[in-house]
Amino acid sequence: MITANQLRAARALLNIDQRQTADLADLSVPTIQRMEASEGVIRANVDSLMKLVSALENAGIELINPGVPSVSGGRGVRLREHVASPRTVRQSKLSSERTR
């Protein structure tokens, strides 16, 4: 699914810290810290993993898993072109939650 290294790399590409990542994914900072402290694939409950992956994808991150065509193979992350900044994604999420 997603590794701790991919999560750290995604944060670096987005230029956000753990608190901002937690806000984007609607998770706690300690949860993000535990995820990043994992070895290999992140172990967490399915709901938390889905929130994290969805938030990263909405912010423009593409997770590259083993077996997916790439020049050199292996896992990785890529920032898609033409995406909103993570702050903009979070702002629109908050606005839509207020209208509910």
Domain harbouring 33, CATH code: 1.10.260.40
When divided into structural domains, the chain yields a total of 1
Residue 25: pLDDT over 80: yes
pTM value?
0.72
Higher-pLDDT residue of 65, 70: 65
Range of the domain at 52: 4-98
Residue 21's pLDDT is 98
Residue range 36-45: mean pLDDT, rounded: 92
CB neighbours (10 Å) of residue 12? 11
